[in-house]
Structure 1
C-alpha cells in the first residue's frame, strides 16, 4: 500500500482520511514481521494480542461504516460476545484479518469520498457509550482516529514486549 499522503488529497475530507489511515497503519505495522504465534500472544497482563487488536479495529471500523450507511452489520455479534472481537477464531489468521481490514478500509474511503457532505448525519443505536444525538460523518472519522490511536498505543506496548521493537525505531 502506498503511503497515505501519496493517495489522499489535502482538503478536510482527505485530511481526516489521512489521520484515520495513519492510525490504522500504526496498528497494522506493529502486527507485521512476527510469527502468527507471537501476534496471538498476550505478553502483558492484558488479554490483548496484536492479532486481536487488528481484528477488533477492523470490526469497529466496519461497524461505524455500517451505521453511517444505515445498513445492517454483517459481522455484528451479541453484546455478551463483545470479547470475541479481540481474539482470532479457529478459521481466522492474522493475514485474513489484515485482508478483511483492507476491504473495510476501501469501503470506508469510497463511502467518505461519495458522501455529499461531512456534515451528513446518521443515528446511533441507544447505548450508554454513544452520544444521544445523531453524529456526522466528520464525527465518525474523528472517532475512528481516537479509537485507532488508543489501540495503536496498545499495539506499541505489545510489540515491544514481544521482541523489543519500538514504534519509532
Structure 2
C-alpha cells in the first residue's frame, strides 16, 4: 500500500524535509506503477518527457545536488554530449535498475542530511550562467530545492501517466487500497 502521509512523520526539521522529499519521490514512482518498459518510455503528451526519463532525471539531479553538498565529484556528471541521456533510458538501462539507483541515492541523501552538523552549513555552487558567481547555498536550501524539483516532476509524471491510460497517481493509490 502506498501512503500519502508517512506512517511516522518525524517532528524535527530534518525529518520533515526528508519526508516531503520522499513523498515527491513516491508520487513519481507511483506514476510508473504497473507500466511496461515500453509504456514508461513513451511520450504521449506534447512534452518530450517520458515517465522512465523523468525517473532517471530526478534521480540524477538528486545525486548531483548531494555530490555538490558533499563537495565530491559526481560519478554520473553529464556533459554537453550526454545531456540528452539524462531524460531517457539508454539501451542497457531498465526501470527497475534506475529505481534501485535512485533508492541508493535517496538513502545517501538521508544519511547526509542527518549527519551534517547544521542545515545552515553551506557549500559552493558550480560555475553556471544560472548561479551567481561565487554563490553558496545551505543544506536546508538544497533539501527544499529537492522538494521543489520532485514536486515539479511529480506533476509532469501525473500528466504523462494520465495521457497514457487516463489514470492519475491518486487513482492508483485508491485502487491499491481497494477504494
The structural deviation recorded for 1:83 is 1.9
- Aligned with 1:158 (options 137, 157, 160): 160
CA distance in 1, matches of 2:85, 2:44: 19
Instruction: Encode CA deviations 1:39-73: one digit per residue, 9 max, x unaligned.
Output: 01010121100000000000000000000000000
2:60 is the alignment partner of 1:69: no
Ranges of 4+ aligned residues in structure 1 off by more than 4 Å: 1-4
The structural deviation recorded for 1:8 is 5.3
Note the residue ranges of structure 1 that are not aligned, 5 or more in a row.
Answer: none
Asked if the contact 1:8–1:17 (Cα under 8 Å) also holds between the matched residues in 2, the reply is: no
Q: How do 1:123-142 residues align onto structure 2 when only pairs under 5 Å count?
A: 123-132=124-133, 133-142=135-144
Note the residue ranges of structure 2 that are not aligned, 5 or more in a row.
Answer: 172-179
The structural deviation recorded for 1:77 is 1.6
Aligned CA-pair RMSD = 1.6
Q: In the comparison of the two structures, how many residue pairs are matched?
A: 169
Larger Cα Rg: Structure 1 or Structure 2?
A: 2
2:67 is the alignment partner of 1:84: no
2:58 is the alignment partner of 1:57: yes
The TM-score normalised by the length of structure 2 is: 0.89
CA distance in 2, matches of 1:8, 1:99: 24
The TM-score normalised by the length of structure 1 is: 0.94
Asked if the contact 1:64–1:140 (Cα under 8 Å) also holds between the matched residues in 2, the reply is: yes
Match of 1:18 in 2: 19
